[in-house]
Structure 1
């Protein structure tokens, strides 16, 4: 009996020691991860400082970057969770005959987030203030991709005299996820996953594993910048806030009463995304998406619909030349070249 009790006590001590050792190892790894991530963040900003200006707008510090010095000014509005780096090729080429302005919405890229509201009105009010503070004068030609296409329409509605033309690149249809419940559920899950990504990013885990998540359309240098700057904790907060505001942005767009009578070029992808993992019919999703692009083009007096035959959704990375040529064409239409 005594031997049995002694054996149990010995076993418990071993288990206790193993548990303490495992906890110590986990804590040590967490501390190492924290130190690594803080060091990596400082190194990233030293190696890849913001190429443009950092401007205080209300509670946020926003990064704005321009190339070129000719009129008109072309303003680029990125899609959900995306930022200025995605537009390097378009900005480089279009800046040969215009001033091209890209910027990072709050919390993305080199911008910091203070004001967490990401309604469409908040986003475009911040952009308007940013353009005014930095002295870029309109009327502008706007290029808006995906959610950026919705923000662009909201900007044109609120500031009609400041918009000379719009290039709407694979604009996300308002209420699109409500049409497909599986997609809406998937987006809700992704928004919650951003909390986990932010937590893991504190320990450098996301940074170490981020290489495979970067679109192959980026240049090699841009891939390095994306990995260094684009996977910080604040980015995941910003993406989550933008995702949570999608329904409200949709309602804002659907409530638009009028848009300025300006030329519009709608560009849609030619290669469908695979939605089968969500349990959706690719044909149904694609048909709904393309119907909206046609409807969008038809809603303007002077417009055309172009198909980027060799591209999926990220046309600025996969077929940037169609956006570059469309910008030239619009400038010719407006007699601005």
Structure 2
């Protein structure tokens, strides 16, 4: 239950356990991840196809790549929220692969990837993603599609690697302001679900989570002129948090306004009929934006 309470504050799968369906993650349709017999082969030149486990700095990282290997356009990289595995993107990845190269991976501590050896900052995770791409032979431009906490990672990567980021598509990405918003809105005297949400947010700020991510709401820097499209949910998703749900919803929605300001070419859209999992609720909208950013 605790791991899903982290998700309520950041990625929202908790609503599943509480009986709601607005934030229910899509069921996986992909096959089990296989292990390459020689992980170094994945770093030899061309990105691997299908599901593979590759070695990156001594860690085993689950990856999945599909679509035309001879594509001369950017590689689409899908970044899931916490604690979703790469398989949560199976349907979206299959759709994108019809016309573009697309890859996903499990961050350290998630899915079937190794746990991280030490605590990590957001910058550390972005740097490790760069190493994952290198291990797959992906040295060209990338279009990052990040959902929830994966959106934070995507934005951080774009800030660090602007020269190779072709675009950013942020799907109800966790606003940096949410960490302090949760701790401010929910007092330490709260009980039940609200108390657990606050406790898990404190755990995030100290690295006591599966990814050992230490994140206290540090702002993401400018991504320059990287094309950025942020899409937020249109259907309220925090109503099941007693007493504090309305305030959390308002904080999340207002936090989305900051995303387009990171780029000189930023846009914010509202997925009117979507809950948190926009790529499940309105897949055509997501595919439309991926296509536009690739053009």
Is the pair's TM-score, using the shorter chain for normalization, greater than 0.5? yes
Report the TM-score, using the length of structure 1 for normalisation.
Answer: 0.64
- Tell me: CA distance 1:49–1:62, structure 2 relative to 1, closer, same or farther (3 Å): closer
| 3-state SS of paired residue (1:90) | helix
- Tell me: CA distance 1:277–1:188, structure 2 relative to 1, closer, same or farther (3 Å): closer
The offset of 1:95, in angstroms, is 0.9
1:288 maps onto 2:251 in alignment: yes
- Tell me: CA distance 1:135–1:155, structure 2 relative to 1, closer, same or farther (3 Å): same
1:48 maps onto 2:32 in alignment: yes
Stretches of structure 2 lacking an aligned partner (at least 5 in a row): 1-30, 35-49, 188-193
Q: Is the 8 A contact 1:191 1:243 kept in 2?
A: no
For 1:255 and 1:281, the matched residues in 2 are separated by: 26
Partner of 2:210: 241
Partner of 2:224: 260
The offset of 1:153, in angstroms, is 1.4
- Tell me: CA distance 1:304–1:175, structure 2 relative to 1, closer, same or farther (3 Å): closer
The offset of 1:276, in angstroms, is 4.4
Partner of 1:315: 278
| 3-state SS of paired residue (1:268) | strand
The offset of 1:330, in angstroms, is 1.3
Q: Is the 8 A contact 2:176 2:220 kept in 1?
A: no
| 3-state SS of paired residue (1:180) | helix
- Tell me: CA distance 1:303–1:49, structure 2 relative to 1, closer, same or farther (3 Å): closer
1:175 maps onto 2:177 in alignment: yes
1:164 maps onto 2:139 in alignment: no
Partner of 2:67: 68
Q: Is the 8 A contact 1:267 1:305 kept in 2?
A: yes
Q: Is the 8 A contact 2:259 2:266 kept in 1?
A: no
| 3-state SS of paired residue (2:225) | coil
The offset of 1:273, in angstroms, is 0.9
The offset of 1:327, in angstroms, is 0.3
Stretches of structure 1 lacking an aligned partner (at least 5 in a row): 1-46, 194-237, 333-337
- Tell me: CA distance 1:121–1:298, structure 2 relative to 1, closer, same or farther (3 Å): closer
**Which residue of 133, 150, 153 corresponds with 1:151?**
153
For 2:88 and 2:145, the matched residues in 1 are separated by: 13
- Tell me: CA distance 1:243–1:176, structure 2 relative to 1, closer, same or farther (3 Å): farther
Larger Rg: 1
For 1:270 and 1:311, the matched residues in 2 are separated by: 6
For 1:58 and 1:187, the matched residues in 2 are separated by: 33
| 3-state SS of paired residue (1:241) | coil
The offset of 1:108, in angstroms, is 1.8
1:152-186 deviations in Å (ceiling 9; x for gaps): 11111111111011001111111313223328843
For 1:53 and 1:170, the matched residues in 2 are separated by: 28
Q: Which has the higher helix share?
A: 1
Q: Is the 8 A contact 1:84 1:103 kept in 2?
A: yes
Report the TM-score, using the length of structure 2 for normalisation.
Answer: 0.72
- Tell me: CA distance 1:57–1:174, structure 2 relative to 1, closer, same or farther (3 Å): same
The offset of 1:148, in angstroms, is 1.2
Partner of 2:114: 112
The offset of 1:191, in angstroms, is 7.5
